[in-house]
Each structure stands twice: as C-alpha cells, then as structure tokens.
Structure 1
C-alpha cells in the first residue's frame, strides 16, 4: 500500500550499551502532523501502523486518520492492529491449540512439512482456570485440590503438554503456578518488546491480545492489551491483523491520595461505578493526572484489571518512574529497564507532569474522597459504602419478596458464642433461618450469612498492600481471640507463588491459616465459579429455607449464579474486608459500627480495633523482595513432578484419540486443497433459525452446564460419561462434537419459526417436525441442503465468542442475513467462511412477512467485492422476492479470508506458499 512522501522513520537509540532501531513517532509527525496531545494509547496504535506500513492493508491514510483524530476525538476508520504477542488461559486456549494441531494434520496430508505450522507471534498459555476449591480450611487443601485438578483434567493437560513441546513460539505455564494476568504483570510483560530483524535489534511497544477479558490488567504496566475471542487471537498468533475501529479515548484524571484505612480495592470499585455510569463500552480509557505519581503500580494494575467491569476495551496507565520501580522490584533485567526508559522518552510515551492529552471525554476523581466500599449483590459496578451494607442487603430481601421485621431481632444474629451485636438495623423473621449441625457445632443460619469468604482473583492478589493488610488484620483478630464463623467457607487462592513467599516472610500466613484462610490453589477459583461445593448441611439449609445468603470475595465478577448456584448475593471487597466478614459471619452487620465479636475478656472488638495502619502495611510490604520474584519465576514453565510425569509422544503431528471426550480432530480442513475452490452460490437453502433483534453471542455460543437431555448430553452419555462428570461446555471447548451440539442451544433463545417456544429448537421444514437445532442441521446435511440464518438488528452483540462462529459453520450455515451486525461477530463469521449479508434499507424479515419456511438463494458470491451487493432470492408460498443485499465483507483482507474458506485456511495456504 502507498506511503507516499512519508520519510523514513527508522532511527536508533542507545540503552545499557546496546543499539536499538525503532520507528520514530516524532519523525513521522514531521510528515503527518503534531501528535504531542494524542492519547498515549493512540500513539501506540500509530507506531503499530508505522512499523507495518509496508504490509498489505496499511497505507498512509490509516496513519493520518490516527493523527487527525485530535481534531474531533473520534473516527470511523477501521485499521488492522498487529499485537506483539498473545496470552491465553486454558479454557480459551485449548481450542486454539486444537486448531493449530488440526492445521498440522492438514499440512501433512498435503505432503508438506508439518513443523512449518507454528505461531508467528509469541504465545503464552497459562493453565489457571481449572483448579476448584473442593478442599479448604486445612494445611493439605492445596495438595488435595491440585491432585483432583490433575485427575479431572488429565486429557486436556496431556494435549497441552504435547503442544508445549511440539510448537515453536508457544510456551505453557503449568497448573499450580498462578493466574495468567498476574504472571503477565509480574514476569511476562516487558513494556518494550524487541526482536531481531534484518541484522538489527528492533524495539517497539509491548502489546498483546488475550483470550481472557481481564488481559487489561497489563495496562497497569504501560502495556496496551485487551481481551479478544479465540478466532481473533488465532489470527494474531498467525500474523494476521486484528480488525478494529479507531476508538474513542476517555481520559480519567486522578488527583490526591487515598486516606488512612482506604484500599486500592475501594478505589477500583469507585472508578468502576463512575465509568460504568458515564458509559465507556467499546472505548479506551486512559488514566492521567499528577495523582499517578503517588499511585503504586500494583494499585494501577488493580484498576486496569477491571476494565471489563466498567465496560472499556482497556484502562491504560502510561509508563513513568513507578513503572521502572515495579519492573526492578519484580526482577526484570536492568538492561530491559534502561531500554524502557530510553524508548518511551524518545517516543513521547513517557508520562510527564501536567501533561493533558486530547480526549473524547474526561472524568476526574480526587482519591482522598474514596470511602471503604463493596460492590454487589450481582454487578461489579453497583458500589455500596461499607456502612450501607445492611440497607443494601435489606433491599435485596425486599426485592426478593421477603418482609423485614422491626428491630425485635436486633442482637440475635451474632449472639452465638456469647457475642452481642449492636445497632443491627434490619433482620428477618425466624422462619427464614435454619438450624444446622456441622461437624458437631450447632448454629442457626440466617439471611445474609456469609457462606463463602474468598481471597481470590488476579484483581487483588497481585497487590501486596491489600494482601498484607488482610494478613495483618488476621493477626490482630487472632490476638484478640476472634474466630471465623463455622458456616463460612474460607479460601486463599493467590495469583502467584510470590504471594505465598511474602505472606510467609511477613509472618502473617500462620494468622490467615488460624482463621481458615489456608492456601487452596494458585489460579482463578471463586471469581469464575470454581468455588466448589459448600458443606452438605449448609447447602441443605440454604435449599430448605430458600435462604438469601452471601459470598464476599476479592474478585472482579459477582454476576448472579456465577460464584455458586445457591448463593444469591455476591459482594466484591478488599482482602482485609473478606477476612472481616468471615469473622462477622453476616453481611447484615454494620462493620463500620458494630462489633465483630468479643475478645477473651468479653469486651467488644470493632473493625477499627483490628484494622492495620498505613504505616504497618507499608512496613509489611517492605518484606516483598526482588529475590522472591526471581526464585519463583526461574522455572515458571517447568511445572511440578506430576506435570513433568505426563507422558506425551514427541511428535510434530498430534495423535488424535477417538475415545476422548475433551479433545477431537475438528473437520475444518477436510477436503482442503492447495488452492481454494471457487466460491459456490447458495441454491435454495432452508432457514435453520429466524431470530429477533440483539441476539448475542451468548445466545449462539455453547456455555454453562450441559443438560443430560440435550444433544451434547446425549453424546456424552452414549460414550459412557455420567451426567455428574459432564463438566461444562467451557471445559470441553476442544471437542467440536460437543460444541456444535451446543450452538444455538441457549435456553433463552427464541426462534420465530416456532410460536411461544423458548430454547434451542427449530422446525425441520420438509417434515414439519420440531426438534433441536443441532438435530435439524444434521438432517439437512444428510439431505444435502444448505442453510441460512435470518435475524434482526445487532446480530452477534456481546463478547467475541469464537464458537458462536465456529458452531455456525459446522452446522452447515452458509450465510447470515440480518438487519445489522455487531462488528466482531461479523468479522468472526467471515473468518469461518460464513458470509454476513445485510437487508436493504427498509426491508426486514417482518416487512417481507417471512415465516422461516422459505427457500433462500444467493447469487454472485464468486464475484464479491468489499462492501458490494449480492442478489438474494426468497421463495415462499406467497411467491418469489429478490433483494439486493449488502455484503458485509468490508475489506480486501476479509474477502481473501472468505474466498479461502476462512482465516485459518488462508493462513495455512500462505504458510506453505500457495496463497
């Protein structure tokens, strides 16, 4: 593409005695215009365009659009973005590795060397989503949970072990090591990336996409990154651009300092509430202001982590002295640190005091005004001040149809063991409570009982100040003689082994253990629903009393039903507050005023009495040493003896196991030749489903539990898997047979071909029978009949779920005809060889009176041009209608993917030199 009159931008800089080449933004500005007030995030995108200016699909207009963004603070231009690397977790990473393995099998079938198929960009996969809290509250919990995890996931782990040794540019962090985002922050992230190119060392911004929404955490280190779906991630790892619109950028100005007793968690919950209220979905958020000078990097990462919760694509913090301090603390090489400083200052990517870029919108927060907070009961943006928690829970009960009583019950909730409550404003009738006998202890379980108290999730376990605060609070509580309530399931799941090291060095792990917060695993647990079962008497009491109980967790997600199916209210809180609520035992208690319990002398103990001071926390944080990071990350890719003992063949091509219910060879490349066949028109297709407006990828993609009577459930039972061992769709993403059976199977999807039916059903038109969408698709396939889906506005909204497109393709759908598309799902459909078509303006399924019984033909697919028109003929009882539909293949790259049958086919042929 043309880069007319753009001067050479390749420059050199020196750092720690090494010469680096880089594409200079100031040099580019001489031709494109001043970029001093361009947001840092857009400067990084500009450098990305500049560096790949000689590649297909990028021209000067893309770069000029980024510079001109300063005039209107918005743009409608779509660009191709090539991140430096890709991050995966095991749930979302397994299908990506399955596709790579399948590509190798296809290459071998074509007579080429399979080892030619490798990621072109560095890929790190961290196994962190599979550990569950089956055991808790004792010193053996960690080992017990790891043993169960390895047994439960052996098939998947064998496959990933094979991938670890088979692929170049692909590393696996074994289970029991940490959470991908914390490992990324503490070890993988470099702030500035380098590679050898044409005999010189090229330096450029460290950027990434990840297959987990909280990839944004790395923005705290000045690394631009965000979460994407599997197809986009696979495209990135195989050297293809991620298609994106130049975003709006919202500036968030931070001033002041946090007050005594206020934590980074309180800050992030406040920021989340503010940004969600303002509306930043699909936008970049960039933090600026002189308050950053006093904001530790761990606090920045806490805020960046929750970008999905406030709705932004990312929450970015620029590089400054604090970035270098954190890199030094976490054991990064001094030469790397010197490069980061030199590069960012040369490129205008270094935060300078008083600098205020141009933004699409701005917000401001004086951090001294932040107060102690939680968020809940089911959305992370619903912040509740600590003193308002009793009223917040009372509202939950009121909304749930319960009737609050007067203060006649005051003092009862916390009377066990001689403790007395003071000032409880709301409580509930006795019949809402249940008598429980657990391990010889008899007590009454009341509404608001905290049945789960979990220090968990990357958001907070990456932050030494809040983790040490939790340990110090536990120490003070232990000294006072306070104990955790017997109905509370406690757990500690740090994001890396470094946390264990510094909690031990600070002398507080024993105190946490004494209150039941033993180590249960290193990974995502409670936050993603891996909280494990509650003790059976507790579950029985909740069920029989229909009790509204609570979890308190230091996570980032608290959606209804996510943490545990029996826990109706879930509250996000800082780690020290998690400990405090384990002591209190009930969210109805006002921790700002009421005693947590009584000491050994019968005197009331309040939260204020045991809350550590900032000075005490700072002293404890001094125990965090660089040597801890260097020790724990020295062999981060090695794994323990059990991981190493997993036997896998040292083959370049995976040996598929036909009996596996977790990993299967997908049929994407069956019959694929060296050259793409001419795209055939669609002749008299049947309609598989006719859907309304705002159908989301959650409606389309398989997710959640597998029902025994569903097509996927029947498939598993036919192979000897009992319903109790089904696991979830998420854990079986490497088996296309299960995933295609779960596509369009959501219990809330509405197919307009059926009156009043909710769920994944359709009508097989030739026979008139109602059946599961999967079953109908297979019957059509046997009959040799192509399929289409017809829909309304905003088809494919929501998260970028790759199986929403993969499943559509495997069911035999050739085209989706809708009124409009969500951008990412539209791109994913093309990436799987499914053509997205848009109704002409003014025409819809309703204006045409469609019932779903029609036959649909599409002509002109072999002669498509980006943004062109195609002829769609619809035959029905009322006659024949011909439309000129808009083809939503918008770019030349997308058209190439479609003509090859999908992006993976295009890349495969390119790798063997036939594309």
Structure 2
C-alpha cells in the first residue's frame, strides 16, 4: 500500500537522496515542538505502517502541547545497542527462538533482528593483575572463550548484527566514537540517527544531537524484532544555561551541579532539552558528559540539539566534508539544527529551568549514593558528620571514642597506619569521561606536576587506570602524561568495566585485617558513576565519585578527611609542603594540550584498534550452523526455558501465595540481579562446584548471563540485601511453612516443588539502578508472580510486566507497615479473564494471617479475630486493589 505520508517526501543532494519532511505538513505546531519531539515525529511519520504505528500516533505527537503525559505513542529507533552482559542473554534468547521455530517446522533462519544491532564486548574484563594490562587481556580471552565463540556465531548466523570485540572500548564510548551517525542513510532515504541501548550510559549520545536512552534486555529484544518502543508522550523540560564557566570547574562538576538542580526539579520520566547562550560554551565532549548522568536524576534523556559545535566536533572525526554538508543541509531542512544565540528559535517547553554555569564549584558524591553531593571544600567536615550520624545513606554511627583510632600494619616491610577515611581504593575510570579528554588530561597534568613536586601515593592503596577506550591510552601517551600516571601507581589495567562493577582485585590481606581490626570506615574514590555500598569491595564502606584529577589528589593525600585549602597534599623530601592549588593545571593549559595532541588523532587510533582486535579475537573457530549447537556441558551458554511453549501468556490469578522476601526502600538492581564475583558459599557456587569447576574458574555473574541456571541462583544473592525476615543483611530468607532460614534460591526452589506461588513485598523505588533483564527473568524463574511495592523504577516495572510478573503499587501514604502486614500472610490476587491497557479494575487481594504454631487454647480467640476484616486499598498501575487483612496475633508470634 502507498505510504500514508508519501506526499511529505522531499529530496536533498540534487534529488539523489529522499527524506520525509514534516515541514510539508504546513502545520504551525511543528515549529513550536521541542527538537527531541521533532525527532520522534519524523520517526513516526517514516515508520507509519498502520499496524505498529498509525496516523493517529503522528497526530498525537504533532499535538504534543495537549497530549504530553497523556497519549501513548510508538517510537522506532534507528538501531539497538547492546553491551555483552545484557547482550548475551538477548542473543541467547534469539538462538533459543531459532530452536523453537525449527521444532514447529519453520525455517530458523527467518529469526533475525529487523533493527540493526551492535553488540560491544566490554564488560568481561577482570583485574587479576593490577600492573600488567596485557595479562588481564589474555586472561579475559581464555576465561571467556565460550562466550566469544557464541558471539562470533551470532555475527555470522544473524543478519543485522555487528559484534565489536573486547579490548576496543566501553560500549557507550564505542557508540560515541564509532557508531554514531547523527543521520542515517538507508534505501535511498536520509533520517535522524536514534538508538535504544541496554547500557545505562546510552544517554551520552544525546550530547551529539542523537536521541537515545536505556532500555532493559527484554525491551531491546522486542525492538530488535521490529516492534517500536511504546512510551507516554513525554513532557520536555527546557534547561536554559546562562553564565560563564569557572576556569577551575571540570565537566564533572558541571554534571553534578546540573544533576542537583534537575533532581530537585522533580523531572522523573521527562525529557530534558538544553538551550540558551550557555550551551555554546560547552564542547561536544562536555555535552555528552552532561547527558551521561541523566538517569541519576531520573530523566529519560538530556538532549542537546545539533549546532555548529556539533559539526565542528564531527569535522575532527571520520566525517568527510561531503557528509558534513549533507548532514547540515538535511538537519536545517527539517528544522533540527539550532542556533543557541537566537532566542526566536526557542521552542515551547513544558517548563523552563534556568541554571547559571558560573555557580558551579568542584564536588564529589558519596559516601553511598551519587545524589549525595559534597563540595570539595566541605569534604572533611562532611565525612566527620557521616561518622557521627546514625547508620543510613549518609551515616556510619561510629562512637566518639572510636573515631580517632589508628591501626598500624606492615606492607612490603614498611609500617603504615589506617584510620577512618583512609583511602584504600583509587580508581581513575575513564568510561564516562573518554568523550571528554579535558578531564583525563587534567588528571594527567596533575599527576605530572605532583611527580615533579616529589609527591607519591602510598603503595598499599589499590590504584588503577581503567580506560574505557584504547584512545584514552593513546592521547595520554601522546600528550606525555602517561608515564607520570604510572609513577603514581595508576597503570593501565585493561579496557572494560572493572572497579565500577565490583571486579577490583582483592586488597592486601594486611589492609583488610587492619580495617576489620579497627572496624574502620575505609574509603574508595573513583571517577565512574556507580558506587553503592559494598559494590567496590566488601570491606570498603564509604565510596566517593569524583573527577579523575580529584581521584589522583585524594590518592596522594591518602584520606578523604582533608581540607585542600588549608592542608597540604604531602611534604617533599626537602620538607616543603605542597598544596593542591600548587599542582592543579589551568583550564587554558588543558585546552591547549587537548587541541595540540588529542582531537585529531583519537578517531584514527580507534579505527586501527578495531581492525586489529577484530582479526585477533575473531580468529576463533565457531560453528556455521543455522541453529546454535548447544553444549550440554557448558556453564556459560545454555538454552533457556522461556520458549518451551510457544503461546501467548495470559495474566492469571494468584492463590495462597507466600512472600519470598519482605524488603524495604531503595532495593536496587544490584540487590536483585546478580553482578560482580560469585561468592564461594552462594547457591550459584554450589551449582558450579557440582559441574566440577574450581572457585578460580567461577568468573563473574556478568560473564555467565548466558546461563539461566547460574543467573537464577544468583538472583537476590547480594550480601547487602536487607530482608526484613532476617536480622541482618545477606542473601537469606525465611521459608515460612517450615520456619527454616535458607538461601533465597533454595527457598524459592522449595516453594516451587510444593506448588506455592510467590510474591515480594517492598518499599519505595523498587528496581532503581542499572538496567538489567535478569532483574525480571530471575524472579520469574524463581516462581515470583507479583511484586507489591510503594513505588517502582519505571523501566523495571516494564520489565516485570514483560516477564509476566505483576507490579502492584500501594496507594500514596500506604505501605506494608500501615496495613499491618508482617509478610507471613497468604496472598490471593484475583484477576478477570481479560485485560486491556489502562483498564480501571477492582482487584481483590486477600491477605490472611497463617500460623503453623497456633496455641489450641487460643483457637476460639484466633477464629474471632479472623472474622474482623479491616479493609485497605492499594493499586496495580491504574488498577484499584483492595486488601482484606485478617489480623491475628497469638502468643507464638
């Protein structure tokens, strides 16, 4: 059939390239739309097929001012981005789909991603050797051979799949440097580049004027197979930047400053679009660094429209002059090009927030959450208050008499001392800073000046430099600062996620013993953006996010309890005090170094690295079969059970369910989905031991995401899981019928054997944090059929629904405590036979107290109490649920 919007087709480049031109709608509403919404409108017009995308969707987007936050619209991105930890289960699912359709007599080669998909292998690196990066890379290839063989098979067997091998760069960095197009060319049509990705840093791409955001593995599979992303037409907050940037302020400081403003503005689930004269002061790398953190203030995207700065950036990359001219001509033709100095071009926004860039000062974030910002000048005082405060997001509750304790220990034959606030991990991680060389160069120049001043880093501190891309090493070497990093102990340990995902090598035993002996609040400082308690190392309780130069500074100081203005970083051998201000490089010095040595060479280096690694890694043998030859002995790749029955799952009522877990607030995906190393006493370890693997061969949960047996056993295996059934944190729960304490997986397995469905009770912000498909797949395979929480992270709610787990939400002001639930009740959730989107339903939830130890003498009282029904209500999406809570108490409970 003829395309319903064929009359909008226009041409550029002497009529040789076509495009859909929304301006030919001649609708005055188009010029008032935020540019991010214009990108969505173009994609909806181009993909209008009458099935997934309809003409009414186009009209809803065009009528954005009236339909924002109301209409549900589809969005078909130009491509999908996968990192290997979330990519491998997606590809395993596709391989299993081929098996399933083959059993039904259908050609398995028909199962392919419809949307172009890039998979970047970047999360498998582990730090076995803290000083020899080549050995770490060799271990990565040996340890992950099965996975690499599978990835190579995927690149050969599936159409539209491109696999980027390990040791090239982190996923979001490769996306920025290698995959980003700004515009796409396909079948003679030009259109805006856009992407959804399974990496939390996908939003960095918005800094280049490319619309993109993070989704879960389940959603990404749907997009790969041709279905659009469905979302409520978002509100768009205009963020107006004014003022001038302080010369000492890094892009990280600007990021954290903007994060603070936007978090306070309450913009969860909204688009943010930047405009105003201050935007022109930000380079393209600055913009991508700012856009990176938008998940931290719960926005969907932070969008910087294309302007002259964007073109200047791509002129220094691999874009030819001809391509740049085509890009500019097209973007201007559809009014997706901005001049920030011309306020007449400003669109209409849902609301406008003004931020003065001159107000930004250096900050760090911690000690447990990225939103808890501390001005560097206040750091010493703030850490002291953290010691005083009760245990919580900011407190450790250390008694006054124990705050001054110092524990001596020997390391390499020399005596040192540890105290509260001592730095034991210092990681310069460039994964979120690669796109902004100025930040890493500042750290390198700081290291150079520190070495020249005679300063050192104590040898027991676990220092590391983990570039997210080989180009970082290249420009640090070219600019001459890499040797100074090395002299301070910050040697390159490899390319890929390391400290951020808990892959830090163990601390020296003497350090660990000293921390335990003094019950010390030891600290880690890193320049990543993930630092939840216990993530870096079990014994490191306080972790701070800081810019790379501040990581180096705190490592030299050896403590976070320092006032840089009043106290020296160290003392030279001649007895001279050296302050931070003495070695901090000027903004002009950094920019000059960047222009002279970095920008012109980084993209050439990346292309060369990509070519070498493709040849080296993918010189691995793999099958040429259409269906994947599963190895029943493999502990890495296993065909999951999701496709054992090819039928549409229907929501079913839940009868007499038990609560597997009774959780509190802020349960993150780190608590739910397995990540990091596999503990030797865990259920996953028991499984691997049964397969005759030694602990040295366990690898990490991330590397084994292609094995559902490991991942299900690792679900809720976090040592920081706070289950209210238990008296202390850990991966344990109460098996209610027997009263026994056991591993969460073992309890779930026992419930399933007995045919008892499961639910989970939780508090606020359930499922916040990184996007991971196993946060839904794992509970589903455990037998969980519903999660009842005060609130959910939106993406996680979608993942639960995608796996057939009901996200039930209490009404505002209500929770398990206000409803007097203790988690030991039996739950029955009744659903009608048919459901439709946004249908308002009254669903009955009967939570009746069950006790296995009722005193016979109290039976009459017990039954009379059961007759007292106290009606309470909470909600599932838009569905109203009614609890009948039969509250009983006896002497044994």
Picking from 93, 99, 107, the partner of 2:87 is 93
Residue matched to 2:634? 660
Q: d(CA) in 2 for partners of 1:307 and 1:680? A: 34
Residue matched to 1:810? 781
Q: d(CA) in 1 for partners of 2:725 and 2:543? A: 38
Q: 1:161 to 1:805 in 2, by over 3 A?
A: same
Residue matched to 2:178? 187
SS at match of 2:386: helix
SS at match of 2:256: helix
Cα deviation, residue 872, structure 1:
7.2
- Alignment map for 1:245-324 (pairs within 5 Å): 245-324=232-311
2:73 is the counterpart of 1:79: yes
Picking from 685, 688, 701, the partner of 1:716 is 688
CA contact (8 A) 1:156 1:662 kept: yes
Residue matched to 1:374? 364
CA RMSD of aligned residues (A): 4.0
Cα deviation, residue 885, structure 1:
12
- Alignment map for 1:301-380 (pairs within 5 Å): 301-352=288-339, 353=341, 354=343, 355-380=345-370
Q: d(CA) in 2 for partners of 1:750 and 1:473? A: 41
CA contact (8 A) 1:826 1:888 kept: no
Cα deviation, residue 742, structure 1:
4.2
CA deviation map 1:696-729 (0-9, x unaligned):
5746545566555554343233222345654444
Picking from 713, 716, 731, the partner of 2:703 is 731
Residue matched to 1:160? 151
CA contact (8 A) 2:423 2:560 kept: yes
Cα deviation, residue 95, structure 1:
0.7
Q: 1:294 to 1:112 in 2, by over 3 A?
A: same
Residue matched to 2:537? 564
2:63 is the counterpart of 1:103: no
Unmatched 5+ residue regions in structure 1?
406-426, 891-915
Cα deviation, residue 834, structure 1:
5.3
Q: d(CA) in 2 for partners of 1:146 and 1:565? A: 25
SS at match of 1:861: coil
Residue matched to 1:68? 63
Cα deviation, residue 561, structure 1:
1.9
Cα deviation, residue 730, structure 1:
3.4
Residue matched to 1:629? 603
CA deviation map 1:320-355 (0-9, x unaligned):
111111112122333332232122211221112224
CA contact (8 A) 2:367 2:542 kept: yes
2:100 is the counterpart of 1:113: no
Cα deviation, residue 188, structure 1:
0.7
CA deviation map 1:555-593 (0-9, x unaligned):
222222222222222222222222222322222222234
CA deviation map 1:16-63 (0-9, x unaligned):
x673222222223x25x4132322222222222222222414334433
Q: d(CA) in 1 for partners of 2:366 and 2:765? A: 30
CA contact (8 A) 1:871 1:883 kept: no
- Alignment map for 1:519-668 (pairs within 5 Å): 519-599=492-572, 601-621=574-594, 622-634=596-608, 636=610, 639=613, 643-668=617-642
Q: d(CA) in 2 for partners of 1:302 and 1:842? A: 37
Q: d(CA) in 2 for partners of 1:297 and 1:617? A: 16
2:833 is the counterpart of 1:861: yes
Q: d(CA) in 1 for partners of 2:560 and 2:171? A: 31
Cα deviation, residue 826, structure 1:
4.8
Q: 1:65 to 1:544 in 2, by over 3 A?
A: same
Residue matched to 2:859? none
Residue matched to 1:171? 162
SS at match of 1:86: strand
Cα deviation, residue 755, structure 1:
12
SS at match of 1:504: helix
Q: d(CA) in 1 for partners of 2:38 and 2:387? A: 49
Q: d(CA) in 2 for partners of 1:817 and 1:839? A: 7
Residue matched to 1:10? 8
- Tell me whether 720-729 or 624-633 shows the greater mean CA deviation: 720-729
Q: 1:747 to 1:392 in 2, by over 3 A?
A: closer
SS at match of 2:237: strand
Residue matched to 1:832? 803
Q: d(CA) in 2 for partners of 1:373 and 1:816? A: 37
Residue matched to 2:51? 56
> What's the TM-score once normalised by structure 1's chain length?
0.83
Q: d(CA) in 2 for partners of 1:89 and 1:884? A: 41
Cα deviation, residue 300, structure 1:
0.8
2:23 is the counterpart of 1:26: yes
Picking from 486, 503, 509, the partner of 2:459 is 486
CA contact (8 A) 1:324 1:337 kept: yes
Residue matched to 2:768? 798
Q: d(CA) in 2 for partners of 1:146 and 1:695? A: 35
CA contact (8 A) 2:502 2:677 kept: no
CA contact (8 A) 2:409 2:417 kept: yes
Residue matched to 2:124? 130
Residue matched to 1:36? 31
Q: d(CA) in 1 for partners of 2:347 and 2:327? A: 21
SS at match of 1:461: coil
Q: d(CA) in 2 for partners of 1:384 and 1:516? A: 26
CA deviation map 1:101-150 (0-9, x unaligned):
1111112222232222111111111122222333334xxx2112212322
Cα deviation, residue 637, structure 1:
6.1
Q: d(CA) in 2 for partners of 1:697 and 1:83? A: 27
CA contact (8 A) 2:81 2:197 kept: yes
Unmatched 5+ residue regions in structure 2?
390-395, 851-865, 880-893
- Tell me whether 810-819 or 448-457 shows the greater mean CA deviation: 810-819
CA contact (8 A) 1:254 1:365 kept: yes
Q: 1:839 to 1:628 in 2, by over 3 A?
A: closer
CA contact (8 A) 1:393 1:448 kept: yes
SS at match of 2:424: strand
Residue matched to 1:394? 384
Cα deviation, residue 651, structure 1:
2.3
Q: d(CA) in 1 for partners of 2:111 and 2:322? A: 33
Q: 1:837 to 1:851 in 2, by over 3 A?
A: closer
- Tell me whether 676-685 or 183-192 shows the greater mean CA deviation: 676-685
CA contact (8 A) 1:376 1:570 kept: yes
CA contact (8 A) 2:17 2:189 kept: yes
> What's the TM-score once normalised by structure 2's chain length?
0.85
CA contact (8 A) 2:503 2:676 kept: no
Q: d(CA) in 1 for partners of 2:572 and 2:422? A: 22
Q: d(CA) in 1 for partners of 2:525 and 2:728? A: 39
Cα deviation, residue 635, structure 1:
5.6
Cα deviation, residue 457, structure 1:
3.5
Q: d(CA) in 2 for partners of 1:732 and 1:889? A: 37
Cα deviation, residue 190, structure 1:
0.8
2:430 is the counterpart of 1:457: yes
Residue matched to 2:712? 740
Q: d(CA) in 2 for partners of 1:312 and 1:602? A: 50
SS at match of 1:639: helix
SS at match of 2:511: helix
